[in-house]
Each structure stands twice: as C-alpha cells, then as structure tokens.
Amino acid sequence: MTRKMWGLIPVLNCSQLLKLCAPQCKPSVCPITTPALRADSPLRTMSDQAFVTLATNDSYAKGVMVLGQSLRNHHTTRKLVVLVGPHVAEPCRDALRSIFDEVCVVDVMDSGDAAHLSMMKRPDLGVTFTKLHCWTLTQYSKCVFMDADTLVLSNIDELFEREELSAAPDPGWPDCFNSGVFVFRPSNETHEKLLAFCSENGSFDGGDQGVLNSFFNTWATADISKHLPFIYNLSSIAIYSYLPAFKQYGHDAKVVHFLGKVKPWHHSYDAQRGEVKGHSPSPDLCQLHPDYLLMWWQLYAKSVLPLMQQAYGDTPFSSGFVEANEDEEVKLHEDAREQPAPASAPPPQISSEERKQRWEAGQIDYMGADSFANIERKLDSFLK
Amino acid sequence: MTRKMWGLIPVLNCSQLLKLCAPQCKPSVCPITTPALRADSPLRTMSDQAFVTLATNDSYAKGVMVLGQSLRNHHTTRKLVVLVGPHVAEPCRDALRSIFDEVCVVDVMDSGDAAHLSMMKRPDLGVTFTKLHCWTLTQYSKCVFMDADTLVLSNIDELFEREELSAAPDPGWPDCFNSGVFVFRPSNETHEKLLAFCSENGSFDGGDQGVLNSFFNTWATADISKHLPFIYNLSSIAIYSYLPAFKQYGHDAKVVHFLGKVKPWHHSYDAQRGEVKGHSPSPDLCQLHPDYLLMWWQLYAKSVLPLMQQAYGDTPFSSGFVEANEDEEVKLHEDAREQPAPASAPPPQISSEERKQRWEAGQIDYMGADSFANIERKLDSFLK
C-alpha cells in the first residue's frame, strides 16, 4: 500500500521533495520481511542495534549480499538491514532476505546537484545519496552504515561502542571522513536536518560524502574517539599509496573498501581455477598483501551464488562466473538482465622488481603531465 | 674545531654510532652563525621558539631557502634554523645565512636499514633521517620542523600553540602523520630515546616518517589537538586524489608540501615568460587551483636567486633558469656542480573535459593491471 503510493511520486531531488512534503512527511521505508529473530543467529541480544547497507541495483545487491554474509560469518550479534532501491529485482530481494533481518524498499532520490555530479562523473554516487534514509530507521538505537563495496574481515561489533558520527579518514583528503563506514544514531530530527541541509547547500562532491562531511563538520577537530581507525575502512587504494604502512598495519585490517570505479562484481571468476579475471597481480604482489578481491569472490561463490540460484530458479541471471575452455578462451555465463561488466583489464606486463616496487610504494609523479596522458589511455579503455 | 673532529668520524648508522658513543655523547650540531637578532626581523619576542628545516645537499638547500623566505614574507615572529649536511657548498651556506638565524652543520647519518630503504627506492628519504637531530636544539623550548619541499602560504605562527608531537595526517595512510611538518619540543632525552628506538626497531618505511610514527604511536588515537589540520601540510597529490574536497577546503591552505620524487627545483623556469618548464597543466587545470609550483619559482626568482648570485660571485652554479631562443629551443644555464635535473615531463596531450575531470576526481583504477603498465612507462621516462 505504502509502496504503491510512493511509486506514484516521481523521482525528485531533496529540494523538490521538501517543497512538496509537509514537515512531518518523511521518506518512507517499507519493511518487506518480518523483523523476527532468525533461527541461525546465535546471539541476538543487541536487537536494537543494526548494521545497515544499501543496494540500488542488482549489481550492488551482490556486493550487499557478500557484505552481509561476511558479517554473519564473523558472528555479529547485531541485526542486518538492507535498504533496496525500487529497481532491485524480486529474486534479488528474495536472496537478500536469506541473509538480512530486514529488507526495506526505499524510493531513490538523487541529490539532483547535476553540476557537482557531472564534475565527479560518478552518477552512481548520486544514487548512494539515498543512504541518508538510514537515519529514519528509528526502531534501532544505534547503527553502523556500510557501503555495498565493503567486505568485513573480522567481527567489528565493537564499533557500536562509538557515538554518532564516527568514521575513518578518507585517504584522498584526510580531514574528511570516508562515508563508506560510519556509526550513526537513527533520528527523524537528524534526518530532517540533513534533508534541509542538502536542499540549502547541496553537496560539494555531488554525493553523500560531501553532504555528511559538511553537516558533521567538526569531525576533524572535535573528538578523537569519533575517528575510527583506518583499518575499519581500509580503501584498497591505500595499499599502493603507502605500501610500507600497509605492510606495517594492514594485517589488522577489519574492513576492506573497494573504492574506485571498478567494483568486485565488475570482474569475473573462474571457479574451477579459483582465479579472479581482470585482476592478475604478479606473484610478488600477491605475496605482499592478501588478495581481498579473491576473498570477495570466494565468499560470493560459496555463500551467495547458491542463494541466487535458488531465488532465480530456471530464470537466467548474471552469475559473474567464467568457464575456461580448452583454448584458454573465456566466456561469461549468460547475462540476461544487467549491463555487461566493464571489459576486464589485460594482464600486467612483466616488469623489473625495482619498477614495480616504486609503483607500489607510491613513488609516482601524479602531477606529471605524461602521467595524465597515461591515465587518459586507461580511461579510454573503459570508455570504449 | 668541533667540525673538524666530526669530520674524522665516518658516516655511521644509528646502531653503529650508539655502540661507539658513550651515553652522554650526542650528535653534535655546530652553529656557524651568530644567533644574534636580525636587523630585518620586525618582531623577535619569541626567541625561544623556532622553525627548523634541513638541507642535505645544494638542491635541497634551494628548497630550504624558498621555505625560509616564505616564512619571512609572512612575518613569522619565530627564529629560523636550518640544519645542513656536510656536503652543502660554502656559497650555499652563505646564502642560507642571509635568510636563517642559525645555520647548523650536522653529520649525515643514514638509517642504514638498507632493506627498507631499497623497498622504498628512495635513498633521499634515508638522508632525511638526519632530521631527528632537531631534537638536540635545546636552546629552543618548542619548534616546528618543516621539510625542504614545503612552501608557506600564510603566517603559521599559531602552530606553536600545539604540543609535541602535532602533525597532519598522511594522505597515503591517514592513521599515520606526515612528518613533513610537525611540532616538537627539543629534548636530549627524547633524542636519545629516538636513537635507541631506531637502533632497536629500524623504520618501517626506511625513513624518518616510519620511525616517528612508531615512536609517537598514539597520534592517531589519543589527542585530537595533536592532529594539525590538513591545510598545514597539504600534499599536492591530494589535489588530484579528491578534487572536490580541494575546491571546498583548499583555499585555506597554509602550507603546500611537494611530495613525490620530482621536486620544484627539478623543474626549470623561464623568467622572461614567467613559466615553469616541465609542468604545463592545461588552462582548465590552472583555473582549478593556484599554481603552487609557479609560486615557488616566483619566490625563488625574486628573493633567493639574488642571494645565490651574490654568494657565488663569478663561480658558475645551477640557477634552474632557462632561456628561450628564437626557435623555442630551451637550454639550461650552466650547471657546474650538480647532477642534471630529471628530464622535464612532456606537455600533456589535449583531452576531453570529461576524461580530465575523471582523472582529477581520482576516479582511477589504481589496482588495474594496465594502470601499472602505464605507470611503468612513466617510470621508464624517468629512468632513461
């Protein structure tokens, strides 16, 4: 009923929506699973606290399933909640229900700040703006939001000891927090303030991270306890930016964040060989750090794919798996619903140890003019 | 006298030196200028506090002179101290004396942790290990250390309100501080502990940043007042990593840090045209941020080069200036003493606004295999 009503309302930005809505009208979330205790949850004493994530389409839904399963595998005692966009297919929602305590459909609202969004050239970030809706989950006293492209490596329930807004620094501009993992306290009042703030100020990066950093603008200076250790939101970029620090501190990593345009589900997986395609670091590089991407695919293959197969039945869907034939050619399993994944990156050229180490240590002249030209070639390969 | 004595001692690493030295023996610093008040210093009420920097060779000495002059231009009320390695030429020291209150010769000690240093492939970082000697400047109650590749954009005397060890986050691994700018309290006891720590633990990155982060290991978690805002150590890399944040917060930048292998003095300058060679961002990029590199060269040309010319007299030296002849060919001024600067990067290829913005916004798949290949080509151009 509520879903149908919201279905009639076109997609509006914050400013437009605020003009239409009475003050007491808040974007609706619709639990479509019974929030009952799950039989397979060993401990459920902290039922008023939850991990919350967001799936805006079927691709991100895969990431969300892997994330949810990684939290289960590490025996979280908190509830698992996923916000899903209206375009997520019904079988996907069924699979999500197998992992999450609550699956809530949320109407997608872009930030609408087209100038900023176009600057970032990341329309998918605009969609994640929807995650501000998580503040309306007032059935929980405290929550931890985690992006669909994160993967949990150990139990992180201790995050619930932190207060709003706790987050880890963003390696790009470290006085900003990265909004891929944050502790918050659901509150309709805060949610309304956030929406008003958006409509008045927009987002400096066109996405939720800009909004949240402007709203919670004392994070960098006020309270060290609200600085989550970086190992709770370890962006894979940081491994290469400062490799010695990763080698020193990375073994304690608790959450990996696959930042960047190419996500784990954009790669493919050869289950027979246990290899991720389109990501073939040299053996030396593999020794230097655990292959988080491989861990993602192994978890997907073991725990998520069976749920997808059960939910889809005979209906074809994109598994992301590849089969190697005798001629070493690979072909993707049939992909009936989604856009094709970006072309896999070619295997790296063999190079001297010295040069690789320079690269790994971040000794790259990012400001150098020909570095731009090189990156342009890289972008060319994506944009084709 | 003291200088001659130290000149007889070969270059040793911390561990070797500690074995040779009695506990009370500390590495010697030798003031070779009278620490009297400078006539051109308007205020010198805070004479027990100092900005401290380090020049290990004639190239870094240029950076140090620009840094010192930028502090003078912004009317610092604190003393300026430079530690110089034994290889810095006498005319360079003369020029340094024109800017700094104290010029102290320090014996260079590499960290000697060859395995780590080779991993970083940055032998120049090993040399900066020498900066630990700054803790012996006990004639000052509090100091701010600044690397030779930093440039001050406004008065930053407020940094002396902070306590040891205050520093800004490193964008590569933001739970580490960047050791290019830090507040410290000179103390022979701390210095001895630092040397002992080095000999026992080495440095996880082969340089001073690894040592200092391991020694002051509660920086990330203990006291928010010891987190200097990122604008006090804005690494130029961050501009491109998260451009929207730079556009939002960068106008308040107080210190720019030219991180990376290629330093400002590795470029050259066409004074007639007011152009830096080997760094030709597109016009669009110039509009996006002030050209810190150009600022560096303008300051060098106006205030540092005259001091160098006076100190060197008729002796040729590397000015870094180029002259454009009628055929647009450029030739470097004679370079009698130094290694040739790295080859200037070629001008960037013309590209679409969209692709450039993607690059500027950091939407690059650093983990992508062909990105490595591209960077390898970049490195090739340097290693030729």
With bands split at pLDDT 50, 70 and 90, how would you rate the model's confidence at B10?
very low
Sign of the alpha-carbon torsion through B139, B129, A244, A236: positive
Q: Given a cut of 70, is residue B382 above it in pLDDT? A: no
Question: How far B115 CA sits from the closest chain A CA (Å)?
Answer: 12
Looking up tokens 């540092």 gives: B304
The residue of A378, A383, A384 whose CB has the most chain B CBs within 10 angstroms, and thus the best one to mutate to test that interface, is: A378
Task: Work out whether strand A268-270 and strand A321-324 pair parallel, antiparallel, or are unpaired.
Answer: parallel
**Cα–Cα distance list, B325 to A377, B59, B274, B321, B334 (Å):** 34, 26, 15, 13, 16
ipTM: 0.73
Q: Which of A124-138, A296-310, B110-124 has the lowest mean pLDDT?
A: B110-124
Angle formed by the axes of helices B58-73 and B90-99, to 10°?
Answer: 10
Decide if pLDDT at A24 tops 50.
no
Q: Which domains are present in chain A?
A: 45-233 (3.90.550.10)
What band does B129 get if pLDDT is binned at 50, 70 and 90? low
Q: What is the pLDDT of residues A331-371, one digit of tens each?
A: 444 333 333 333 333 333 323 333 333 333 333 333 333 33
A322 has which bridge partners?
A270, A332
Chain A residues with CB under 8 Å of B264 CB are: none
Three-state secondary structure string covering chain B: CHHHHHHHCCCCCHHHHHHHCCCCCCCCEEECCCCCCCCCCCCCCEEEEEEEEEECCHHHHHHHHHHHHHHHHCCCCEEEEEEECCCCCHHHHHHHHHHCCEEEEECCCCCCCHHHHHHHCCHHHHHHHHHHHHHHCCCCCEEEEECCCEEECCCCHHHHHCCCCEEEECCCCCCCEEEEEEEECCCHHHHHHHHHHHHHHCCCCCCHHHHHHHHCCCCCCCCHHHECCHHHCEEHHHHHHCHHHHHHHHHHCCEEECCCCCCHHHCEEECCCCEEECCCCCHHHHHHCCCHHHHHHHHHHHHHHHHHHHHHCCCCCCCCEEEECCCCCEEECCCCCCCCCCCCCCCCCCCCHHHHHHHHCCCCCCCCHHHHHHHHHHHHHHHC
DSSP string, A23-83: TT----EEE-S--PPPTT-S--SEEEEEEEEEESSHHHHHHHHHHHHHHHHTT--EEEEEE
Say if residues B125 and B113 touch (Cβ distance below 8 Å). Answer: no
Distance from CA of A212 to the nearest CA of B (A): 13
Residue of A nearest to B230 (CA): A175
Task: Give percent of chain A with pLDDT exceeding 70.
Answer: 63
Integer Cα distance of B164 and A101 in angstroms: 48
End-to-end alpha-carbon separation of chain B, Å?
44
Query: Which of A116, A119, A224 lies closest to B222 in CB terms?
Result: A224
Q: What is the pLDDT of residue B290?
A: 58
Whether residue A177 is predicted with pLDDT greater than 60 in this model: the reply is: yes
Q: Which residues of A touch B356 (CB under 8 A)?
A: 372, 376
Q: Please give the interface size between A and B, counted as residue pairs whose CB atoms are below 8 Å apart.
A: 268
* CA closest to A383 among chain B residues: B355
Partners of A241 on chain B (C-beta within 8 Å) are: 171-173, 366
Q: Which of B149, B166, B175 to mutate to test the interface with A (most CBs of A within 10 A)?
A: B175
Which tens digits make up the pLDDT trace of B77-89? 999 999 998 889 9
Quick one: tokens of B163? Answer: 């306590």
C-beta neighbour count of A336 within 10 angstroms = 10
Tell me if A121 and B354 make a contact (CB, 8 A cut-off). yes
Cα R_g (chain B), whole angstroms: 21
Q: How many CB atoms lie within 10 A of CB B360?
A: 26
pLDDT at residue B285, rounded to an integer: 44
Flag if B355 and A379 touch (Cβ within 8 Å). Answer: yes
Residue with the larger pLDDT of the pair A13 and B241:
B241
Q: End-to-end CA distance of chain A: give it in Å, rounded.
A: 43
Residue A382: both structure tokens together: 């994506």
Alpha carbon of B151: minimum distance to chain A alpha carbons (Å): 17
The model's pLDDT over A84-129, given as tens digits with 9 standing for 90+, comes to: 988 899 999 999 999 999 999 886 554 343 323 433 433 443 454 5
- What distance in Å separates residue B344's CA from the closest CA in chain A? 9
Query: Whole-number mean pLDDT of chain A?
Result: 73
Question: Tell me, what's the pLDDT at B196?
Answer: 80
Over residues A257-283, the mean pLDDT reads 80
CA distance to partner chain A, nearest, from residue B176 (Å): 8
A364–B175 C-beta distance less than 8 A: no
Query: Does B346 sit within 8 Å of A121, measured CB to CB?
Result: no
The size of chain A, in residues, is 384
| Confidence band for B64, pLDDT divided at 50, 70 and 90 | very high
Percent of chain A with pLDDT over 90: 46
Instruction: Give the number of other Cβ atoms within 10 Å of residue A163's Cβ.
Output: 13
Chain A residues with CB-CB distance to B376 below 8 A = 349, 351, 355-356, 359
Q: Which structure tokens are listed for A128?
A: 């994640």
Residues on chain A touching B357 (C-beta within 8 angstroms): 119-121
Mean pLDDT of chain B: 73
For residue B53, the number of C-alpha atoms closer than 13 Å in the C-beta half-sphere is 28
The pLDDT-based confidence of B107 (bands split at 50, 70, 90) is: low
Contact B223/A223, CB-based, under 8 Å? no
Chain A hits for B238, CB-CB cut-off 8 Å, are: 172-174
B39-56 average pLDDT score? 75
pLDDT for A77: 97
Between B291-295, B303-307, B364-368, the lowest mean confidence (pLDDT) is in B364-368
**Partner-chain contact A370 B348, CB within 8 Å:** yes
**Nearest CA of chain B to the CA of A16: how many Å?**
24
User: From B209, which residue of chain A is nearest by alpha-carbon distance?
Assistant: A245
Band (pLDDT 50/70/90 cuts) for residue A14 is very low
Of residues A342 and A273, more confidence is placed in A273
Give me the percent of chain B exceeding a pLDDT of 90: 46
Q: Are B245 and A121 inside 8 Å of each other by CB?
A: no
- The verdict on pTM exceeding 0.90 is no
> Of residues B38 and A290, which shows the higher confidence score?
A290
Token pair for residue B377? 């080509």
